[in-house]
Structure 1
Amino acid sequence: MAETREQRREEIDAILDRKPGTRETRDEADRYTVVGAASRATFGNWLTPIEEHFVCHRNPIPTGDVDSWSITLADGEREIDLQLADIIDDRPTVAVAHTMECAGNGRGQHDPETGSVQWGCEAVGTAFWTGTPVQSVLRAAGVDTTDQWLTAIGADSTDAETFARSIPLSKAREDCILAYGMNGQPLPDEHGHPVRLVVPGWYGVNSVKWLSELRVMDGMVREGTLDRPGTHARWQQEDYRIHAADEEPVQNATVETTGTWAQLESGETAPYTFDETVMSIIGQPTGEDTPTQGTIEIRGVAWAGDERAERVEVSTDDGTSWHDAELFGPDYAGAWRLFRYDWDADPGEHTLLSRASDERGHTQPERIGTPEEGFDALENDRYPWNEGGYAANAYRPNGLTVEITD
């Protein structure tokens, strides 16, 4: 374990050197370190530079290159070894805009505190991911089903534990890609080099890095459904599910809906974190400077997973009044929108807030609830406190205070 922690420390230091626009966040209990955007300025722009994009993983980064890497595709009757180099040469290449957000983004805003990395709002970024559509690979391999599940397995798996995530085949065929490029550059090591799955609009845990296997299955991965050593259902059936403290989620083969918010509203036990909930962040001003009075542009980003961010409101007086912001800039499914609002600022201290609504009418709640409220918190304009601190999207914790000078 000591050697693993030392290796992890060296790895994180190297990532920070490559990413000057990030800073580290620690989970002191597990000695688990990640990096996220260092400044709100990241969220004042549509495209997130690789140098500012968050990174989250637990095991050491696997090594490999495009020429030697292969992906095993299994459908229950056969296994095919697909060479990554052949996929790149023979199958079409596309670019997909995707806002990738860690499902634990906002975990540090829970009170009482939950376990693991205490993210604020820094674990999110939008990039152009270049790769091959999963649909093209499946079709070429003769996989024609749409009502099953696709389980992705990462090469960072160990003999003790497999990192596996399952998504519906319908989603995989719709817009997912096997990505080997990011923002016009080869995929960086920490982002999954040489290939990762990218699932647009869904939480980052679904976009399995260092992809080594794809398995077509009748349901989601559960203990006993993979012929592999150790455990292999933790990351699907235990972690990354929204539930009360000390609750042990039941392992399900399927769900009625992959909408994270829809699962919360339905009262489903321990919802899964699939698509991202509606969210917004102000990126300008940053709160790190002291603007002078006059017209100040408030600018930020808003997103809503599989849905579209349809409206953003801004408050400059700590929520006493709200004003509609303008949505502008690139408009891609699965990626955030820029918003702006011109504010006639007077001298003094001001608290700025933003709240977004999606096309189904879901609006960011004001705060995170208490453990006692459970899912009833949604009825009181609160996001449900949950043991893993997942999918939080309350707007007030992401507000900022600015000092305007005359």
Structure 2
Amino acid sequence: MATERPRDARHREIDAIVEAKAGGVAETRDEADKYTVLGAASRRTFANWLTPTEEHFVCHRNDIPDADADAWTVSLTGEFDGELSMADVRDEYPTVAVAHTMECAGNGRGQHRPETGSVQWDCEAAATAFWTGTPVSSILRDHGVTDPEGRWLTAIGGDPSDGDDVFARSIPLEKALDDCVLAYEMNGEPLPREHGYPVRLIVPGWYGVNNVKWVEELRVMDSMVVEGSLERPGEHAHWQQVSYRIHPRGNEPDENETVDTYDTWAQLEGAVEHPYPFDANVMSLIGTPDGASPITVRAGETVEVRGVAWAGDDAVDRVQVSTDGGDTWIDAELFGPDYAGTWRLFRYDWDAEPGRHTLLSCATDDLGRRQPSRISEPDAWRDALENDEYPWNEGGYASNAYEPNGVEVQVHADDDRNVSK
């Protein structure tokens, strides 16, 4: 696949983004030397509800287009027809702002053993931002597209690739009509180039791969994108039908024109063979303590354990915290903003004793689905979920095991002689 070749501009691009983001992100290893990948530089990012743009992860595989918003257009193709300028997108339709917790589908890939290929994320590829733009439903309805039954919306990115290959992703038209947005602002400012300037598709609660950057075409179809369905040269179904499929070692996923189940967890339970990562699985991360430095506590003092938990299209029902490596669990308090498609803050006041402790968090969604404890061995695919394991898969996608995300914390007792009076 041409799109996996090393990209000469990658390292210069990474250096420029790290500088622009003032150290809020750090590079993550990419075996193919193709992707630009930067994740949150500190776990403290996950102690706050809103992620500053400077700390929001970045992931793309092609060059950033040299875009001019005044000249950029979005073509409407397939079962509707037209072309929108950015002025049309901004001025001819309602403006909305949506909060969205975006997680890379490969977040946690680097925790798989044996290691899978591609980007070796640990847990740093998740963030929550406000995205301002035009409801996709307004554009669709304005062009007579109202019936979602059995239909799909394919978004195609304008990022230059090798040859005629394109980055294209399909989402159910039902989701597009529900809450998706063509965004041109992020956290109240124009989209940064690396986040999709001048326009990006935002799919609330769904993995980042579905949130296509640099959108140049929206196509309404009666199927997902498959080879030959876009009426253009080059390969264009790779990122829907080959990559970003969850499957055991050594399997080649079959191309599907459509699926009836979009919930990623339900697909993993057997609804779809070789699932597609659409909405995010239930997940949680501790932000503080971050484990980067020891904690010093006075007698009678507690330490606040704070983090975030999310569940894609579903809601977080419960978060439990363990301070002894999983031997015992305590319910944490959920607090702060409670928006669909975004994470919740949680906290627990920990009566910390001196010594080394392993802190874990485990979330449960409102359908009763609880994070599994670990990632399975490669050959345990069929029984993994039943054995409290997330199935090891060849792409390392949609992982949500809680043990690999534990935080090792050293606690010191305070010496009253060193306390300022």
TM-score of Structure 1 vs Structure 2, range by shorter chain = over 0.9
Q: Which of the numbers 15, 22, 45 marks the counterpart of 1:13? A: 15
CA RMSD of aligned residues (A): 1.4
- Which position in structure 1 is the counterpart of 2:102? 100
Q: Deviations over 1:264-295 (max 9, x none)?
A: 11263100000000000000011012112330
Answer yes or no: is the 8 Å Cα contact 2:312–2:341 preserved in 1.
Answer: yes
**Is residue 315 from structure 1 mapped to residue 322 from structure 2 by the alignment?**
yes
**Is residue 357 from structure 1 mapped to residue 357 from structure 2 by the alignment?**
no
Aligned sequence identity (%): 65
* Aligned counterparts of 1:14 and 1:235: Cα–Cα separation in 2: 27
- 1:65, CA displacement in angstroms? 2.6
The unaligned stretches of length 5 or more in structure 2 are 414-421
- Which position in structure 1 is the counterpart of 2:137? 135
Answer yes or no: is the 8 Å Cα contact 1:352–1:399 preserved in 2.
Answer: yes
- Aligned-partner SS, 1:156: coil
* Aligned counterparts of 1:32 and 1:92: Cα–Cα separation in 2: 35
- Which position in structure 2 is the counterpart of 1:306? 313
**Is residue 175 from structure 1 mapped to residue 179 from structure 2 by the alignment?**
yes
* Aligned counterparts of 1:157 and 1:60: Cα–Cα separation in 2: 6
Q: Which of the numbers 103, 126, 129 marks the counterpart of 2:128? A: 126
1:367–1:216 Cα change, 3 Å: same
- Which position in structure 1 is the counterpart of 2:406? 399
* Aligned counterparts of 1:118 and 1:325: Cα–Cα separation in 2: 30
- Which position in structure 1 is the counterpart of 2:273? 269
* Aligned counterparts of 2:232 and 2:264: Cα–Cα separation in 1: 29
Answer yes or no: is the 8 Å Cα contact 2:13–2:36 preserved in 1.
Answer: no
The unaligned stretches of length 5 or more in structure 1 are none
Answer yes or no: is the 8 Å Cα contact 1:327–1:339 preserved in 2.
Answer: yes
- Which moved further from structure 2: 148-157 or 389-398? 148-157
- Aligned counterparts, 1:16-95, within 5 A: 16-19=18-21, 20-76=23-79, 79-95=81-97
- 1:79, CA displacement in angstroms? 2.8
- 1:29, CA displacement in angstroms? 3.5
What letter is aligned with 1:28? E
- 1:161, CA displacement in angstroms? 1.3
Q: Deviations over 1:122-178 (max 9, x none)?
A: 000000000000001111122222121000000015333111000011100100000
- Aligned counterparts, 1:250-399, within 5 A: 250-266=254-270, 268-293=272-297, 294-399=301-406
Answer yes or no: is the 8 Å Cα contact 2:241–2:255 preserved in 1.
Answer: yes
Q: Deviations over 1:289-340 (max 9, x none)?
A: 2112330000000000000011000000111100000000000000000000
Scaled by the length of structure 1, the TM-score of the pair is 0.97
Q: Which of the numbers 110, 115, 118 marks the counterpart of 1:116? A: 118
- Aligned-partner SS, 2:372: coil
Answer yes or no: is the 8 Å Cα contact 1:306–1:333 preserved in 2.
Answer: yes
Answer yes or no: is the 8 Å Cα contact 2:372–2:400 preserved in 1.
Answer: yes
* Aligned counterparts of 1:29 and 1:4: Cα–Cα separation in 2: 6
**Is residue 243 from structure 1 mapped to residue 250 from structure 2 by the alignment?**
no
Scaled by the length of structure 2, the TM-score of the pair is 0.94
Q: Deviations over 1:168-191 (max 9, x none)?
A: 111001000000000011000000
- Aligned-partner SS, 1:237: helix
**Is residue 215 from structure 1 mapped to residue 219 from structure 2 by the alignment?**
yes
- 1:68, CA displacement in angstroms? 1.3
What letter is aligned with 1:48? T
What letter is aligned with 1:53? H
- Which position in structure 2 is the counterpart of 1:188? 192
